[in-house]
Amino acid sequence: MRIETITKGGKEFAIIPKDKLKKLLKDEEMLSDIHAYDSAKAKLESGEDELIPFEMVERRINGESPLKIWREYRDFTQETLARKSKISRAMIAAIETGHKNGGVSTLKKLSHILKISLDNLA
């Protein structure tokens, strides 16, 4: 393929047929998607990320407490989570029922024990 060039303002530009440009853009988007897939797959394989069941997403959409959802997913009782995090069971129950929000330090401790990011408890 022959590519013509023009110079404007001291910069050189390539002129290519529009159909070739569209194909290049489509190929670039595909390559970007492949890189995103490979990155996500690597994070899953290394344990840096995990897949969660759709049921958890549905529960969150339906308004359930993220703390309760993650606690149950990790198979912890409130008592077990309280003991491991050194947060009272009453506080955990209050956060799960929405009576209390829990401070940042409390939520950090809980997210650490549940092995999730703090954002997952928001």
Does any domain span residue 5?
no
pTM of this prediction exceeds 0.75: no
The verdict on 31 and 75 lying in the same domain is: no
Position 1 pLDDT exceeds 80: no
Same domain, 63 and 115: yes
* CA quadruple 61, 67, 70, 75: dihedral, nearest 10: -130
Domain extent at residue 46: 16-51
Instruction: Count Cβ atoms below 10 Å from residue 80 Cβ, excluding itself.
Output: 14
What's the whole-number mean pLDDT along residues 27-40?
Answer: 97
Overall domain count for the chain = 2
pLDDT in tens, 84-109: 999 999 999 999 999 999 999 999 99
Cα–Cα dist 110/121, whole Å? 9
Q: How far apart are CA 110 and CA 55, in angstroms?
A: 21
Find, among 99, 98, 88, the residue nearest to 110 by Cα: 88
